[in-house]
Structure 1
């Protein structure tokens, strides 16, 4: 076993020397994940402590699962879980498939000028911050000054309180996500489509296949593995619905449907300085995401897909 380990180490070092410039190119990314992703993982230990900034990690009192018991016994837990899952499920049902559809449609656009113009238009919202998106939403949907309600008033229809009616909150967040990120999400799928062998399309055309048949029988099956991988990764973030977006759009009237795990962590962890308790909530989210990724990956492999690993 020692000989095999030495052989593997020698092989690894040879590969590093052989591809030293590629390793240097990857070094900034590796340092980023090491410093900002792996090193902070040590901080999860405070979820099992009664953490005090003055005592530090080593001096704080160890309380075990006390914070988790408090969180699961909190009446707000099921409210937070319901709101977070509802927003995530809506995103999975409506937001996740849309970049796939857009990429398939963009691939069918024949003229490069129209294709590039449309791509630029749908990519643009990605570069806007959520603060700007929230401002645009207020300008459009405000009950007093919003353009939509102004139009309804001009048509002699009743105004609609989009921003303060809980019935519209989850739908509004989903539409915001679609408008902002759907175009940007097509990049990966378009790249996957570009890698499909053109001879497959030529053979299909010779057999008399229509454009739609080529799309359904060549393009979509060829990017199926990419779809599965991105879906699995999305499941890992199912309890992360975007703190900034929800925080900016939430108000007192919609707090019952707008309070999610991210905003709850901010409220109790930052505003109330309950560091250990809020870390326990964050760790719960991470564990659920990890288990979902493992389960979805195993399920994908059972269906013959490669999965994430």
Structure 2
């Protein structure tokens, strides 16, 4: 009897071991990809402490210590302006982070499966449109000679709408464009989470006489809590990484004061002014702050939900 149990245990262990090896081999290319593109480039941080010039090796350039970090601090007024824009745009996104949840719930409540798929397809497609194309469409619609102003002139309007060059609404306009582009895509994970909610919970509340809104509030919304908080905390950890492409194509002298975020500022310092060491120092600053925010968000998750995300 004991021999049979031991043989059965060995068979199960071998099957589990083979399954683990198979999963490891599947994950290995992605681990190598992350290592190659996320960890190997950290070697370049050494250039932040040198007077680097293009074409020279690390051993052929002068070591200057913290000179570039001191230069960043001496120019802190501009850095604080850039950080203000970065935090403001990220915080607007955090403030409206429940929108994909609401949108996913609304899509889930559509009874017609064909219409539901149609809505989901049309709202997901903008995510695959590049920001250059989005800028082209936006310029064609909202420029001084664009479609919107053309229609307004036909109705006798004298005021020209120009959100592309309006510094006062730059943050809100960019948030609206980013929301239009990513809302359907961000809702996908919540739609998947809704399908994972136990159907017996819905049956139970229907037996208790709950209507549609009560079902959403007492079953669907609680079922999305964990997914929402994990994504929210990850979004907090990436608060300094609110994108480069969008602000690169929409950047212009009229809105430069509001749209120069940290990613664009690093690009300007490193590429436009050829000050590579200082741009690397800025990148180091961004990485350290992002990692700090990640572990801070992880601590917050442990206290609020009793679960860790790292």
Report the TM-score when normalising by structure 2: 0.90
Match of 1:93 in 2: 95
Match of 1:274 in 2: 275
Match of 2:300 in 1: 299
- Of 158-167 and 173-182, more deviation after overlay is shown by 158-167
Tell me how far apart the structure 1 counterparts of residues 110 and 306 of structure 2 sit (CA, whole Å). Answer: 29
Which residue, out of 58, 82, 86, partners 1:80? 82
Tell me how far apart the structure 2 counterparts of residues 15 and 80 of structure 1 sit (CA, whole Å). Answer: 52
Tell me how far apart the structure 2 counterparts of residues 185 and 249 of structure 1 sit (CA, whole Å). Answer: 23
List per-residue Cα deviations over 1:148-197 (Å, max 9, x = no partner). Answer: 11122122221122211201211111011011111000111111111110
Larger Rg: 2
| Post-superposition offset of 1:52 | 3.6
Tell me how far apart the structure 1 counterparts of residues 141 and 243 of structure 2 sit (CA, whole Å). Answer: 21
| Post-superposition offset of 1:53 | 4.2
List per-residue Cα deviations over 1:84-138 (Å, max 9, x = no partner). Answer: 11111112222x2211111111111122111111101101101111110111110
Tell me how far apart the structure 1 counterparts of residues 51 and 203 of structure 2 sit (CA, whole Å). Answer: 66
Is the 8 Å Cα contact of residues 16 and 23 (structure 1) preserved in structure 2? no
Q: Residues 1-309 of structure 1 correspond to what in structure 2 (within 5 A)?
A: 17-74=18-75, 75-94=77-96, 96-143=97-144, 145-157=145-157, 158-309=159-310
Is the 8 Å Cα contact of residues 234 and 297 (structure 2) preserved in structure 1? no
Provide structure 1 residue ranges, at least 5 long, that are not aligned to the other structure.
1-12
Q: 1:133 to 1:305 in 2, by over 3 A?
A: farther
| Post-superposition offset of 1:73 | 2.2
Q: 1:76 to 1:21 in 2, by over 3 A?
A: same
What is the SS of the residue equivalent to 1:223?
A: helix
Report the TM-score when normalising by structure 1: 0.90
List per-residue Cα deviations over 1:47-90 (Å, max 9, x = no partner). Answer: 23323444423443333332222212213111111111111111
Match of 2:4 in 1: none
Provide structure 2 residue ranges, at least 5 long, that are not aligned to the other structure.
1-13
Is the 8 Å Cα contact of residues 300 and 307 (structure 1) preserved in structure 2? yes
Is the 8 Å Cα contact of residues 89 and 242 (structure 2) preserved in structure 1? yes
- Across the aligned residues of Structure 1 and Structure 2, the Cα RMSD in angstroms comes to 2.0
